[in-house]
Chain A
Amino acid sequence: MKTLVFLAFRNFLRQRRRNLLLGSAIAFGIMVLTVSFAFTEGLTDTILNRIVIYMSGHVQVNVVEQGRFMSPVIRDKARFLDAIHKNVDGIMRVEESTGTLARAVGNGKGDYVYLVGLEINQKFTESFVLNTGSYNDFIHPSYPNPVLLSEQKAKGLKVKVGDAIHLRFQNIYGQSNTATLVVAAIMKSQNVWMDWAIFMPQNDFKAIMGYRPHETGALRVLLKKPKLAPAQADHLWQALKPQPAYIAANLVGTSVAVAPFALEASTNHVLKHFPVSDAHWSPESKGCLLSSLLAARLQKHPGDLLTLSYQAKFQTEPALFTLPVAAVVDFPPTLSGDLIFMNNEDFFKVYNYQLPANTAPLKQWLPASSGEIARLVAPEWTLLERTHNYDGFDKKMKSIMKFPQAEPITDVATMYEVASQVVAMEGVLNAAALIGASVLLFIIMVGVLNSLRMTIRERVQEIGAMRAIGIQRSQVKWLFLWEAFFLAIFGWTAGILVSAVIIKLLMLIQFGVDNPLNMIMVDRRLYFIPTFWHAAQNLILLLVFMLGAAYLPARQAANLSPASAFGHAKG
């Protein structure tokens, strides 16, 4: 074996001109592959890692209340974070994602902007290159609401460092609001995506939006292996299946539970269990449905007001709310009379604003034996089905937007749905490069095949002599396969080296500001990420082609008769 490899290597060196030619062709093919793979990788990185990840993360958890999709709000941040950490493997970090669309007015000029709350961490300064102003003014401002924006946006709003920007936006409760922002720093325009945004420290942003400390917008999970996002999202989704919603409250010394009717609880369905005599009553009616037992004990009648208090989860003093009695009815015996049903829209207004501590479990009022009645209670949120591509995600979102609902909507998505076009683009570009290079490699393969045929014809007598001396057929075959292997390695190495030089040179070119390709550039330069994996992949591809090309001639050589050695040609 060693002898053969050695001999094959010597043979490879022998056909210098021919191998130089073929090697250059291979190097060219490898160069095309390497440069285009590095480009797509770079492109995906700029778009996916810098932009999409800013917007969605690899896995994203969103909770939307009452159809306010522009300003998602997670009320119990700690609980969601806990679910993420317990159910997602390979987390790089979890970030709070806060941002909203707003109308900004600078010095006389108005524009729509995407206001982003930025978590100030070590990575923060790496993401921006400042033109004027300083990070310090942004991080430790001497004025409220400092912002950072691109020179492009600053020009659009006609503002300089120190100028004010007036902002109109909707807070998380859907109320119109205004705020005054101060330009702390202006950064270089890097790409159109960032040009659209105005950044402010997350805490300031959360304050103007009305988020309380235990609340946040959406949560973005960044994974060590982004490819695993769908599986991890599925896992997290399982863990986010909702519980029934209720508030364990106190009503004049009685421990009661207030529960919302589920959205799908139709009147007929409810009436089957509760024989309400009032013909105007429905599960959507304002006020609550009281058991006749409790009504009798409290001496309450329809139209009376109940005042309830409960232990809130994120506040020490008890929360209070009032509830008119809509109807009084005999409860089925399986159910505690101390359970109070109400319409879910009003319920979630109270519930979302001040989550209950709920130290007593719901089954105290709604035992397992109550069977089907349990289905009348709304879940704490609606967990949207998982989708795995953009079409599914889009369809899901459109259908949910058509029917806004009172209870929160929780969705777990990955970049493969939210940014599937970007992910798909990477695949398309790589496939295009692969097809192009395959055509190239195929042509080279024909060249290699012919060259080997020629070589073998020239070496008939030599091969015959080796066969006569005692080399086996299979060894002859391997001799030529090894020679092709060396050619491949030579061409590949040259191709990789040339690629490195070309990529270096291309990255030196800086394009103009108004270049339409700016959105895919970094610092107005083309961006490449050559990876070891791609180089290895190209090598494997090349070897497949080369050994494929060499196989037939090699077998032909192996079948040469040792008698060919007895020719009369000079050797």
Chain B
Amino acid sequence: MSLIELKDISKEYPLGNTSVRALRGVSMVIEKGAFMSIVGPSGSGKTTLLNLMGCVDQPTAGTLLVDGQDVSKLNDKDLTRLRLYKIGFIFQSFNLIPVLSVLENVEFPLLLMHSGKPSEIRERAKTMLRHVQMESHMQHRPSELSGGQRQRVAIARALVTQPQLVLADEPTANLDSETGNAILSLMQRLNEEQGTTFIFSTHDPEVLKYARNIVKIRDGLLIT
């Protein structure tokens, strides 16, 4: 069954009096359990595409179905709930909450969901940190971690809610290649073990060898 369906999606950003067409009619279907990479040069529209799929932004034209639901019919509150319950995000610049410890960062989305007692939430967060081998740094603040460690915490945070879809925008761009490889292997392992759908963007050909499906994009159009 398809998790995401894009039908003739366009996205324009207003820019002064004109507008920038970041996507110009993109159509595709992403199945559950995919481990997919979006590649393309800088400015090709990778982030834009991920934003739309993550319900962080709305398309200018076309239809976007996430888990069978037309997102243009949802208001901000529902979209936020949809992101909280169904989607996990991994950002290029990690975006951990600096004032919270590693453990608290991973607990955060669960606390927002009010999913269970505090002790249960804590256990789930710890388990997740064990999966990414960060349980020894639970009490650290993000600023005390290396880039690779931060990204592993970010992965734990994205996965702790057991989302159907994880979106990662250039997750390895701020990491050296060795750490980047480790992060991608981790994502790959979690995809295989837990069946979570992963979509990640990159412009690093090195990274592509991990992907099962590859979508190429240039100037806002898919290249097949």
Contacts and interface: CB of A to CB of B under 8 A. Distances in A.
B85 A470 contact: yes
A364 interface: no
B190 interface: no
A569 B173 CA distance: 12
A3 B108 contact: yes
Nearest to A464: B95
Interface stretch (B1-9, B86-94, B177-185): B86-94
Contacts of A17: none
B174 interface: yes
Nearest to B167: A468
Contact of B76 (A464, A473, A569): A473
Interface string A543-571: 00000000000000000011101111111
Interface residues of B, number: 32
Contact of A469 (B51, B76, B157): B157
Contacts of B57: 561-563
Interface in A433-481: 461-462, 464-473, 475
A471 B56 contact: no
B110 to A, nearest CB: 10
Interface stretch (B26-34, B64-72, B96-104, B210-218): B96-104
Contacts of A3: 108, 111-112
Interface residues of A, number: 30
Contact of A465 (B47, B50, B91, B111): B91
Nearest to B105: A469
B3 to A, nearest CB: 18
Nearest to A467: B80
Interface in B48-81: 50-51, 54, 56-57, 76-77, 80-81
A10 B169 contact: no
Nearest to B118: A2
A47 B73 CA distance: 70
Contact of B80 (A470, A565, A570, A571): A470
A468 B56 contact: yes
B200 to A, nearest CB: 13
Given A469-B84, A469-B109, A568 B89 contact: no
A14 interface: yes
Contacts of A10: 99-100
B175 to A, nearest CB: 12
A473 B99 contact: no
A465 B89 CA distance: 8
B204 to A, nearest CB: 15
Given A471-B112, A563-B57, A13 B99 contact: yes
Given A561-B57, A566-B169, A571-B95, A473 B80 contact: yes
Given A470-B85, A565-B91, A566-B50, A462 B97 contact: yes
A473 B169 CA distance: 23
Nearest to A3: B111
A348 to B, nearest CB: 83
A209 to B, nearest CB: 77
A469 B108 contact: yes
A568 B99 CA distance: 20
B174 to A, nearest CB: 7
Contacts of A471: 80, 84, 112
A470 B95 contact: no
B83 interface: yes
A464, A469, A473, A570 pick with most chain B CB within 10 angstroms? A469
Contacts of A571: 91, 93-96, 98
A11 interface: yes
A466 B97 contact: yes
Contact of A566 (B91, B96, B99, B108): B91
Contacts of A570: 93, 174
A565 B108 CA distance: 16
B79 to A, nearest CB: 9
A11, A13, A561, A568 pick with most chain B CB within 10 angstroms? A568
14 contacts: A3-B111, A3-B112, A11-B99, A14-B99, A462-B97, A465-B97, A468-B54, A469-B89, A471-B112, A473-B77, A475-B112, A561-B57, A565-B89, A565-B95
Given A10-B100, A461-B95, A470-B85, 9 more contacts: A2-B111, A3-B108, A7-B100, A11-B99, A462-B97, A563-B56, A566-B91, A568-B92, A571-B94
